[in-house]
Structure 1
Amino acid sequence: MMKFGRATALKIGAAVGLSVLLHGPAAFADEQETFKSLDLFSKVFEQVRENYVEEVSEEQLIEAAIQGMLRSLDPHSSYLPAKDYDAMRTDTRGEFGGLGIEVTMENGFVKVVTPIDDTPAYRAGLKAGDYITHLDGESVQGMSLDEAVEKMRGGVGEDIVLGIARKGAEPFEVTVTRDKIKIRSVRYRVEGGNVGYIRISRFNEQTQPGLDKAIRRLNEKAEDGIVGYVLDLRNNPGGLLDQAISVSDTFLERGLVVSTRGRDNANAQDFRARPGDATDGLPLVVLINGGSASASEIVAGALQDHGRAIIVGEPSFGKGSVQTIFPLPQFNAGLKLTTQRYYTPSGRSIQAKGIVPDIMVQQAKLEKVESRFRHEADLRNALTNDQSGGADTAPADEGADTTTNGAGDEEPAIDNSTDLAQQDYQLSRAVDLVRAISLYRGMSDQ
């Protein structure tokens, strides 16, 4: 917690200004302007503290000033007070409390980047692209992103009413019950008997171990062997850079994964894959959409640039910046600051552009429809087939088990009891593509 005595608060501008004068690398004229600006801040600070209609603590004013400074830079830089700093560290470990929703601020409203799988927000039906306009009836306009996030946090079992604006729908409210969020970042299943489906919901410390296990278990579960993989990064908001690099490395034989560059080119870094592809070069399709951001885009961009995977779906979110956490131990707090941009192996920056899929596939709902065609057998007095024994008109076994996710697995990848590709158009197209590539390679090898 930051504590400022009255005398200290009055001297902040002068003290920092003097430090700039003595040690700053800028020209003397610039130092004078800095001193004037800091002196202005000190005077405004004192006027607000003394004359504002309600009493405001010095700590509140200082923290608000810091947040305002950082928010003016970009949407991802922020000051992390003790509570938020602890929550951030917990998040990267893969367990935290709240609604299970990744958000950003856009046009004064809280925008949903993605609801995290199997969380209260996900179960309540929130979607990527939704705008949260009200929290328990209070408008979010005028709130900072951190303030809105703080209001969405609370005790396990407590409800919060979210006002939602969704494109193509009337504004509505949804009640979400807070819960302890445990993130299982990797899920997997055998799709259609021989295609390995791997979903990564975010990149935390558990992601690479989960991916290694998924590849191993999928190969064990497929009776006739895996012919290829679908890597689902849809609605994945990102996470740890080192995990994104590691996941990319899993599928790459060699080469550059990502490079990062900041203001000082001397601090530029290149991250490369180690020799060895854990999937032996089997066909790979990566699914992305508008909820795929940051670390997800690093993986998709690396695999796309190397020609290792075909990217299918919709353009990604377009977050091409890297945030560094600077601990402030004397205040038990932290500073999240955008320090670098990242670039794909070909040198592309995806900032505000996103990764464009190789094959654009919009999400759609698959439904069975009755055929509009009539057949010979439908015609009145149609001749019968003299070779038919009647077996060809027998109905299919309605009790047949279509489950392919290994229900006996102690860690089922997906809880659905039916084949996901029957319900998910993008996934269906990805699975078809994997099989087509595998078939083509098999024919080419003959």
Structure 2
Amino acid sequence: MHQLIRNFCCFVLGAGVALSLNISSSEQALSKSIYYDSDYPLLVDVIDTIETYYVDQVDRKTLINGAIKGIFNQLDPYSGFLNEEGYQALNDANRGEYFGFGFEVATDDGQITIVTPFKDSPAERAGIEAGDKIIKFNDMQVDETNYQAVLTEIRFHSTHNFGINLTVKKINSHQEVSFTLQPDFVYIQSIESQIIDGDIGYIHLTSFQEGAADAIMKQAKEWQNIALKGIILDIRNNPGGLLEQAISIADLFLEQGKIVSTNGRFFDANEDYYASGQSIFTHLPMAVLINKGSASASEVLAAALQENHRATLLGETSFGKGTVQSIIPILGHSNAVKLTIANYSTPNGNNIHEKGIDPDIEISISSVTDTPNVPIIDSENVQENSYDQQVASAIAWIDGR
């Protein structure tokens, strides 16, 4: 099995492969460490000494930033310090808009990998696809060893409206292709929906941003007078977002049962979330599409629906991110700390971190197109829905119900 090292994409790229909560700054009012009085002066003394005696002049801000960077190097890759611009950009992304290049990345088998390009973003318009491997950034060879440096450079280029050059190895052909991207405003609609095959409701959930649950509820009301045969919820290439939205959306589809559990070191990080009892599309069969780009909040939702026997999952094994991050504002500043505060487990108590969620019915694009005898789909359906073989499989599954 491939070893996956999954990292959080910096916010200028998108919403991030993240599952996040917001914690008010008042919660920082924790008791001082017993080492505070001795350790803090030591850090200040080190900075003062370097600033005074080092052979080359280094300003204090640079030294402090270096100290902060060193702290987060000791933590997991999903934690980090957000300066004012970064904090604002992350808030914008959670509202579905930001300025950047429009792709999410992680590291996979030692390479920087595209998790997803967002619709109508500079990345998608250029032809970048989920699964492409970035091998050069601005003519510099890159891999997981300089991953953080690449993210810093991408953030810098986005903030200053500079273009970037990427060379990627394509997921399907393995050919090396170069792209030049200019940052642009990226607008993410939380859902896209339509009636397909005459009587099946299709909802493509692209992001767990603010208002996503409300958007699904609104769509359900618009369909309430239509005699639907089933529901397809598509969360492929959805990199995650707000935990509260994942819980709310799962609650919409569940009449009862546990949605997710979180556990961490401080009291408020430990919680069990349950369905409230009011649900939509109660009597309709439901198929959920997942793939390797379904991460974090997508996995919370998928596991809740699968393990409560509300939906059947079709597609490929998901990304595998089982941690929760909080955005903690720094008192008196416009900065914030993005910190991993908890792990989460599925309703059955499973930890999916670095494992992912297996679909009930595995449907990879290659297996559908290369193998003529797929039990759940016939050749006629494949031809009629050649634009998306996995959607065709979901339609066939609902028809079979």
**What amino acid sits opposite 1:148 in the alignment?**
E
Deviation, structure 1 residue 64: 2.6
1:247 is matched with which residue? 249
Change (3 A) 1:89 1:145: farther
User: 1:139-158 alignment to 2 at 5 Å?
Assistant: 139-140=141-142, 141=146, 143-144=148-149, 146-154=151-159
Residue 367 of structure 1 deviates from its aligned partner by 7.3
1:288 is matched by which residue type in structure 2? I
Letter in 2 for 1:126: I
Change in 2 beyond 3 A, CA 1:247/1:170: same
In the TM superposition, what whole-angstrom CA distance separates every residue of 1:374-412 from its partner, at most 9, and x where no partner exists? xxxxxxxxxxxxxxxxxxxxxxxxxxxxxxxxxxxxxxx
Match of 1:24 among 33, 47, 61: 33
Please list, as runs of the form range in 1=range in 2, the aligned pairs for 1:134-283 lying within 5 A after superposition.
134-140=136-142, 141=146, 143-144=148-149, 146-154=151-159, 159-167=163-171, 169-219=174-224, 225-264=227-266, 267-283=269-285
Counterpart of 1:12 in structure 2 is none
Q: Is the 8 A contact 1:81 1:332 kept in 2?
A: yes
Moved more, 204-213 or 259-268: 259-268
Map of 2:10 onto structure 1: none
2:300 — aligned with what? 298
**Structure 2 counterpart of 1:427, which letter?**
V
Amino acid at match of 1:165: K
* TM-score of the superposed pair, with normalisation by structure 1: 0.72
Q: 1:265 to 1:82 in 2, by over 3 A?
A: closer
Q: 1:269 to 1:363 in 2, by over 3 A?
A: same
Shift of 1:259: 1.0
Q: How many angstroms does 1:73 deviate by?
A: 1.3
Within the candidate set 46, 49, 54, 1:51 is matched to: 54
Structure 1 position 44, deviation (Å):
7.2
Query: Does the residue aligned with 2:351 lie in a helix, a strand or coil?
Result: coil
Distance in 1 separating the partners of 2:365 and 2:236: 11
Residue in 2 aligned with 1:347? Answer: 349
Give the percent of matched residue pairs that are identical in Structure 1 and Structure 2: 35
The alignment partner of 2:204 has SS state of: strand
Aligned to 1:424: 388
Q: Deviation string for 1:221-265 (max 9, x for gaps)?
A: x5xx21001100000000001100111011101221111100246
Whether the aligned pair in 2 keeps the contact of 1:136 and 1:162 (CA below 8 Å) is yes
State how far apart, in whole Å, the 2-side matches of 1:231 and 1:171 are: 34
Cα distance in 2, alignment partners of residues 304 and 329 from structure 1: 41
Question: Offset of 1:36 from its aligned partner?
Answer: 7.5
SS at structure 2 position matched to 1:144: helix
Unaligned runs of 5+ residues in structure 2 are 1-30, 371-382
- Aligned letter for 1:147? T
| Larger-Rg structure | 1
2:273 aligned partner, one-letter code: F
Give the drift of 1:174. 1.1
Whose RCO is larger (CA < 8 A, sep 6+)? 2
| 4+ residue runs over 6 A deviation | 365-368
* Shift in CA distance, 52/170, structure 1 to aligned 2, threshold 3 Å: farther
Residues 143, 271 of structure 1: alpha-carbon distance in 2 compared, 3 angstrom cutoff: closer
Cα distance in 2 for partners of 1:163, 1:88 equals 26
The residue type paired with residue 69 of structure 1 is I
d(CA) in 1 for partners of 2:52, 2:296:
40
* Kept in 2: contact 1:259–1:270 (CA 8 A): yes
